[in-house]
Structure formats: structure tokens, C-alpha cells
Amino acid sequence: MPTPGRGPTPANNHMSFIPKKSLGQNFLQDLEVARWIADQVAPDNAPFVVEIGPGQGALTQFLVGRPKHLVLVEKDDLLAEELTEKYDGRADVELRKQDATRLDKRPWYRHGEVRVVGNLPYSVGGEILRALTTPPTPVTCAVFMLQKEVCQRLSADITSDSYGGLSILVQADWNVEFLRVVGPEVFNPRPRVDSAVIRLTPRKPGSLPVFDRPLFDRLVRAGFSQRRKQLKNLLPEVPQGGWEALASALKTSLTVRAEELTLRQWVDIARWFEGRTDQDRGQKASEMFDVVNDHNEVIDQKPRGEVHATGLKHRAVHVFVINKHGDVYLQKRSHLKDVNPLTWDSSAAGHLDVGESYAACALREAKEELGIHLDSTTKSADIPATERTGMEFVELHTAHHNGPMHFAPDEIECGEWFKPAVITDWINAQPQDFATGFIECWRAWEAQLPREA
């Protein structure tokens, strides 16, 4: 850290460059501050670290050689060229001349753990933060320097004057630590305000009850749209007994304002609008399945819990939903799943109900899990029952859909469209990220794809 009363230690670089106001460029000049910020992302032996806006390389010099792979994302042509020249020949350093607000993060999943660090420009810092941390994202740790007031809002709790809608929307997914204030004297040119450094790490799955995220976002934005107004005058019409019943369930007054409610209370508001009043329970162990023999012939019916506990053979369907670009939608399974929780899986998947056909199950699962209505699906493969499929005889079905998904949060934590090549690369690098049954389905489907000459 700089010694109090002394000026900043100049950064060790020789780049001659006039900062561009249009890009909000304020270059960090203090070696000790740069070293300290680099340390906060814990880069040593990390598989994949991304620095956003390396600029003149103040932070970069304390990152190079520490992670297994370092990606530098720089938008400015001249700075990107100089950084490329400086680190040319290093296999562990990659320069990407890109706009950080438009990064495609999906290929990053194959690295398993992704750490991001950067001194973000004031002008687009919020936009970059949203682009990198809005779920789904492969980012597992992010350390950013931003305007101090923004960092205060991101990290504030209900006791702080900075607490607001931004605090709630970000903290629904992330633990946000306010690490330190950084004065303007360590930058060139000197900004007019203080900066600060924050660290974001993912919130533990299950630390909040499940809720409909798009609905939650709309309600929070509505509630904070006019801070002086009482919440009852800003929210949509409240179901199930109206505002009085909801306020009573929240254990708050009828005249409460948005900033007087905790994150958990805002989650409970979203759940109330969904009609959720019970605790999250996941799948029912008493649900009945058809039990089948080695030839996939029904021989009995048993409850889910017994089928899974004793390894009885049964039936399931997987559905790959494909859009007009040829991308496949993958879901990340909810923490409430009794098998393979928090792994990535087919677009939709589920067990056949007693007496149900595979085709009917495919349509039902697409509706229940993804909220989409398919007219039909196409059978693509039969996968035999093995330990890899969880003793399920699986039929793989495909379908085409280009619209949005509205997935059930009990079933799915998040979802994303992926190019097939990205999925294959990810499976090869990180098979533990996926439900084993999905990998069997993917290999069967991939084998049917036309081979390039």
C-alpha cells in the first residue's frame, strides 16, 4: 500500500499514450495499488483469468505468469497493439481486441473457474459489470475498480443510505465485498471523484428460496421507480388477498417503502406474486414411475424414491431445443433436484409418468420446465439403460424454437443457448459439469451430425 503522505509510485511501463475522454480512460499509475488489486482476484495457479481494459498494463504486469491462462481484453487499437507486442511469445497470455460489453463468455465455461479483474471506465463500467455477471455466467470471482458511489450501492445492505434497487438486483446472485477506497491521485488523468474496489463471488445455491427471476426484476424496478412513494402504490395489483395480506406475510407496515425491505423480503414478494407459499421441497419421492425390464418392457410401478435408491430400470426423455442459428439450449439443473443437482443438462428432461409415451412426455417436459408449447418433437436416438443414464431407457427428441424460455425455477437454475462445437469442447474439458445422462445423449446426437469434408 502507498505510504500515507507520499505520492503514488509510478507504474512500471513505457507506453506513450494520450488518454481518450471518449473511452473514459483513467490509467492507474501506482505500483503498490496495482499489485494489491491483482492479488484480490487470487490469480496464482487459477485456470483462467480475464483482465478487462488493461490499458497501459499497470495491473497486467502483476498478473502475467500467475494464472495458467491470462486473457487481456482491450478495445483501444493502439493499446491493444502495444500489449500484443509486449507479451508476444507468451503462450499463457492472450490479447483480444474487443468491446468488453460484447464479449461472448460461453466458450469460457470449459475452463471451469473464471476470474475477472479490471479497472473499469466510469462511462461504461456498469454496462461491463452487467455483461459479465448477469446469469448465466461462467465467472466465479470478479474484482472491479469503479466509481466509489457505484461500489457503495452494489455492496450496501439495508442499514446503508446507498441501499437500493441495484443492491438487491446484484446481491440476489452475488456476495459483494467493498474492499477499499482508491483516491484520484493514483490515476492519470486524475478523475474528479474517488474510486473503490469491490469483489463479487457467487451466492451459495439454496441460500434464497427459488423465485421467478424476470418477475423479481420487474417488481424491484417498479418498487424503486419512485423512492418517495409507498410500495403499495408502485407494485402491480397484488394477488391472494391484496396488499394487506402481502404486508402481513412480510411482517411490515402497510406504508412501507421499497428501501425498507431486505433482499429476502423482496424475494418473498416475488414468490407471493407467483403463488408460492410453501417451502421449497424439490421432487416428491412418492411420484410413481413405470419399472421396466432389460427389454424396456413395463413390469411394475414403484415410487421415485425407491426406483432411484435401488437402481431399478425406468424410462426418461431428453429434449434438445434448437434455434434458427443451430444453437442448442442447455439448462443448469436446480439445487432441488434429487439426482445431478447443479449440473448442466438437456434443454428439457424428465421421467415418463405411469402409462405415458415418450412423445407425450417430451411435450409435457418442454411445457413444464421451459414454458414453451411445442406442436411435436422428432425422435433422434435411443439410449440404453446403464449407470451413465441413471438406469434410464432414454429417448432423445429434438425440436425447434426461437422464442424466449420461461423456465420453472424449481427445475432449472438458469439456461443458455450454446453452439454445438462449444458444448463438445466443454464436455471434453469439464465432463463433471454435466449430468451423465446428458453426455450420453449428446454423444448419440453428435454422432448423427454431418461430418465436414
Parse the chain into domains and list their residue ranges: 21-202, 213-274, 288-445
Segment 43-56 shows an average pLDDT of 96
As a whole number of angstroms, the distance between CA 446 and CA 381 comes to 11
Whole-number pLDDT of residue 306: 94
Superfamily for the 213-274 domain: rRNA adenine dimethylase, C-terminal domain (1.10.8.100)
Whole-number pLDDT of residue 18: 59
As a whole number of angstroms, the distance between CA 219 and CA 126 comes to 21
251 Ramachandran zone, left/alpha/beta (phi>0; psi -120 to 50): left
Residues 155-183: tens digit of each pLDDT? 999 999 999 999 999 999 999 999 999 99
SS3 state of residue 245: helix
With beta carbons less than 8 A apart as the criterion, state whether 97 and 80 touch. yes
As a whole number of angstroms, the distance between CA 184 and CA 211 comes to 41
Residues 292-345: tens digit of each pLDDT? 999 999 999 999 999 999 999 999 999 999 999 999 999 999 999 989 999 999
Segment 254-278 shows an average pLDDT of 96
Tell me the pLDDT of the chain averaged across its residues: 93
Q: Given this chain, do its domains 21-202 and 213-274 carry the same CATH topology?
A: no
As a whole number of angstroms, the distance between CA 286 and CA 352 comes to 14
Among 243, 226, 245, 244, CA closest to 234 = 226
Per the structure block, which three cell numbers stand in for 1? 500500500
Report the share of the chain in percent with pLDDT over 90.
87
Whole-number pLDDT of residue 285: 80
Segment 110-132 shows an average pLDDT of 95
Among 77, 58, 131, CA closest to 100 = 131
DSSP 71-134: EEE---HHHHHHHHHHTTT-TTEEEE---GGG---GGGGGGS-EEEEEE--TTTHHHHHHHHHS
Task: State the architecture of 21-202 in CATH terms.
Answer: 3-Layer(aba) Sandwich (3.40)
SS3 content of the chain, % helix, strand, coil (to 5): 30, 25, 45
Domain 288-445 has CATH 3.40.50.720: no
As a whole number of angstroms, the distance between CA 307 and CA 303 comes to 6
* 105-99-23 Cα angle (round to 5): 145
